Structure formats: C-alpha cells, structure tokens
Amino acid sequence: MNAPNKSGWKPTMEVSEDGIHTGPATTTGNHALMLEEPLLFEIGHAEVTGVDLPEIDTGAPTRLAGLERSEPIGLVGLTEPETVRHYTRLSRQNYGIDLGFFPLGSCTMKHNPRLNEKMARLPGFADIHPLAPQQSVQGALEVIHQLADWLKTLTGMPGVAMSPKAGAHGELCGILAIRAAHTARGDAREVVLVPESAHGTNPATAAFAGYKVEDIPATPQGRVDVEALKARLGPDVAAVMITNPNTCGLFEKDFREIADAVHAAGGYVYCDGANFNAIVGRVRPGDLGVDAMHINLHKTFSTPHGGGGPGSGPVVFSEALMPFAPLPFVRKDEDGEFSLVEEESREETRGQTFGRMTAFHGQMGMFTRALTYMLSHGADGLKQVAEDAVLNANYILRSLEDILYAPYADSGPCMHEALFGDRDFGGGLSTLDLAKGLIDEGYHPMTVYFPLVVHGAMLVEPTETESKASIDQFITAFRHVTERALAGDETLKQAPYYAPRRRLDETAAARKPKLGWSEPAG
C-alpha cells in the first residue's frame, strides 16, 4: 500500500501475484471505512496546537541552570479534531478482545469484565500514591491482604509474595527464594532442571539467577520423562522448574511423584503457574508438593495483557520457603488495621528474606480487578471457569484433529489449550502462512512455533468466556484455511490480503526496525 505524504495522497491499486484485485484505485488511500492513517509528522505542523497557551517571557530567569532549550523542539502539533481522528483511526487497525474471538485468550487477550474495570478506577485505588501514609490507604492494603488470602486458599500454599510485576518476574522471585534457602543451610547448588515442555521463560530465569540449566526430555506422550528426571537428580540440583499444565496442553499426572523425588534429593520444586486457569478450583498445587509458584493474575483472573499491558505475578510459597520470601507484605494487626511490613528485622521474616523485588508494592489495578473477579464468581464459579476453559479447548481439539496434525490427541484430554502442527501442509506452506491466512478471516493468529517440541506448532487457547457459536465460527474459518494449506494453495504465501498492511518482512522488522522519521527529500 502506498503511504501518503505532505505532497498529497497517492492512488492505490492492490493486486496479488495471481492478478486478484484486493482493492480498487482510490485518491485517498482509504478502503471504504478502513481509513489510511499517516504519521503525525505527515499530517501535523509545528505552528498548530489544539490548545491556547499564554504568552511567556522567554527572557525571564528559570531554574534550569543553563539547560534551557536553545532551538525549537521540532514536534508537530494537531488540532483537536485531527488528534481525536488520528488515534481513533489507529485503534480501528488493531485487533482486540472487544472485536472478536482471540485464539490466544488466557495468555494475553482474556475478556475483562467491565465490572472489574469500574472497580479498578474507583478513587482510592486508581489514584493512590506508593508513598502515601499507610493510615490513608487502609482500603487498598485490605484489598491486597484479601487477595493474598484467596491465592493461598486456591493454591493450598501458606505464604504469598504480592510484589512481583508479572510472570517472569514471579519466576525470578521464586528462584531467588530457593537460592536463599540453599544458602541459609550452606548448600551451594548450581543446577536447575527444566523439562522440554516448560515455558521458555523458565530456563531464561534460572540462567539469569546464575544457575546452570539442564533439559529433561519429554515422553512421546508429551509429558515429563520421570525416570530421566530421577536419574539426573543429585547434590548439585537446586530445583526443578515444571510448567503444569505444560505447554503441550497436558496435565503432568506424575507431578507428586516428581516432587517427592526432588525433595528427597534436597531440591525444591518450582511450578510455572501460567496455566493455572485450567485447574483453579480443581487442583491445589500445594497438594502436589510445589514449593513456589507464580500466578499470572491477567491469565487466570481476567484483564488482557497484550501489547505490554498491566501484568501481575504473585508467588505462593510452601512452608519451607516462606521465610525467604521478599519484602514487603501486608499484615493485619491485632487492632484490625493493616500495615505494610518493609523491614527485614521484623519477626515474620525471621531475618532470612532475600530482599525486595521492586521499590514499591505490586500492581494496584491488577489486584483490584483480580479480587473483583474472585468475589464475583466465588469458589464454585472459579471452578466452573477452569472447567469451561478446558471444555472449550477440547471441543476445538476434537473438531480439528481429523484435518490438522494433533501430536498429543491420543494422550487424553487436553487442558485449556489445544496443540496442532503443520506436518501435512503442501506446496512448501507452513504454520506462518496459515496464521496469515487467518487474519484475512478476521482472526488474530494463535501462538505459533511454540512449544518447540512440535514442528510448526499452533497453540489455541479459547478461554472460558467464548460461546459455542463463536468457537464454531472460528473452527469453520480454521478448517477453511487448513484445507487451503493442505492443498498447497500458493496464495497463502502472500496473505494477508485484507489487513491494513500486507505481509511484512518480520526478520528485517526485528533486526532493522525503523524507529525514526525524517523529512522526505524535496
């Protein structure tokens, strides 16, 4: 698509390689109500502003100590209508959960009930300052404390750290607590074992914390090879990091046996709780022998996380690791007041905490949304959330296994995510081509090429909030694009045709991004 510039709009005529017209010639670059939108620099002018500001005395003294700007900043200005239209048009080119079904639901684009958002925006939650006196934020501290109690109850774990900001941050919190526990008993261990079916952040976190990482293979059924893991356990193994349910969409049914073996060898068990959405209310990780587990509030307890949106990764701890949990934490005092425990010398920490994860405490908006979600559903409702998510994923798996390669379809029911591969595609087509074809059908693609143990992996997570009608529509579109891929339809290599932009060179975009703008010559 030709981009407009200050010299005027260029007419466009999009034609695919096989001669199919995908857009008529226009004088504006627009296609019906899908409006082409140039950069701010291309439509704005430095002398334009949407507000009237008073004249200032440029010769008056300032407190900038000689750091005053010596020449114009070079930023363009827009009128108010231009500003509103610019960002509204850009929003129309983005895909979100309010527009349609998102095949990567519980990972990034889970439905956020509007009630949650209303609660998070209440004064006293949305506008508090992290340095506000504790007596002035008792309600916020009570929300954090109540949410912590819910998390401990749902997981069967006695302790929780609320400060980690997201999933990988929570992983680091758990691993640092494990390191502190080993250090406290004078047991320097160097290795963390990570199964092939774990999330990709697990080995990265262990390596970042200074551990050597060793892989544990998976069985042909997509689960941890228990015997291989037991054979590797020894005095140098600090912990095992296991994702359960794992990234193959399967529940690790031998988890308790694994945990017992790790504990017997003097190690700890870290569970990646990113997929807690599939088991909340059904399984308590504490009963499985977990020592530490992060919980992605945005994945299990609502709020989209895509595009760098707010995350939160509280970490629950076993009795053995509780003393090493980070500061701060909220305590309910005998007089019913709440206080934020920030000093390492307090009795509750036993002087063994590894310190802080962040300067301030947690993500207030996420805490409020998550607690609202829990109180809205109740314990029985949260159990149904997991059951519906698993039901929807299995419905997709069984509806597509006759046409798409489903490597673990014979391993029993999947959890909240269905896994497929591109094994039988024709004409040199791949998962990437199918994903781009889905865009033309009006869907954001699912996770692709992960987990790595499946060639051309496609991981679909429908979540519990989708109706059968919306899932059926997605299945119909998925089958249609799959049929084209199996038949070797060459047109898929150029998809998408109807998106605001055609297929990009993703390698060049990642390695050579164009992050600046300069005035066109002439």
Domain chopping of the chain, boundaries: 1-55+71-93, 116-127+135-370, 381-510
Is residue 349 scored above 80 in pLDDT? Answer: no
β-partners of residue 460 are 418
Architecture of domain 381-510: Alpha-Beta Complex (3.90)
Residues in the chain: 522
- Residue 106 is predicted with a pLDDT of 77
Helix (H, G, I), strand (E, B) or coil at 167: helix
213 vs 340: CA distance, rounded Å: 36
304 C-beta neighbours (distance < 10 Å), count: 18
Counting Cα atoms < 13 Å in the Cβ hemisphere of 386 gives: 19
- Residue 99 is predicted with a pLDDT of 87
DSSP string, 234-245: STTEEEEEEESS
- Higher pLDDT: 59 or 423? It is 423
**115-121: long-range contacts at Cβ-Cβ below 8 A with a sequence spacing of 24 or more?**
115/372, 115/376, 116/302, 116/303, 116/368, 116/369, 116/372, 116/373, 116/376, 117/369, 119/368, 119/369, 119/372, 120/364, 120/365, 120/368, 120/369, 120/372
β-partners of residue 216 are 195
Distances (CA, A) of 492 to 106, 402, 430: 28, 21, 9
Token digits of residue 325: 């949990």
Please give the angle made by the CA atoms of 8, 13 and 17, to the nearest 5 degrees.
Answer: 140
Token digits of residue 378: 């109740």
- Residue 25 is predicted with a pLDDT of 60
Burial grade of 422 (CB within 10 A; 0-12, 13-18, 19 or more): buried
Burial 383-392 (b: 16+ CB within 10 A, else e): bebbbbbbeb
Are the beta carbons of 285 and 293 closer than 8 angstroms?
yes
Are the beta carbons of 241 and 215 closer than 8 angstroms?
no
Mean pLDDT (whole number) for 171-193: 96
Sign of CA dihedral 463, 469, 473, 479: positive
pLDDT digits (tens, 9 = 90+) for 288-343: 999 999 999 988 998 777 665 678 999 999 999 999 999 999 999 999 999 988 87
Check whether domain 116-127+135-370 has CATH 3.40.640.10, yes or no: yes
What predicted TM-score, i.e. pTM, was given to this entire model? 0.88
Q: Are strands 212-216 and 191-195 parallel, antiparallel or unpaired?
A: parallel
- Residue 47 is predicted with a pLDDT of 79
DSSP string, 454-517: STT-EEEB--TT--HHHHHHHHHHHHHHHHHHHTT-GGGGG--SSSSS----HHHHHHS-----
What confidence category does residue 183 fall into, taking pLDDT thresholds of 50, 70 and 90? Answer: very high
Is residue 472 scored above 90 in pLDDT? Answer: yes
Mean pLDDT (whole number) for 334-353: 76
227 C-beta neighbours (distance < 10 Å), count: 9
- Residue 331 is predicted with a pLDDT of 92
> What radius of gyration, in Å, describes the C-alpha atoms of the chain?
26
Mean pLDDT (whole number) for 364-370: 93
Local structure of residue 319 (DSSP, 8 states):
T
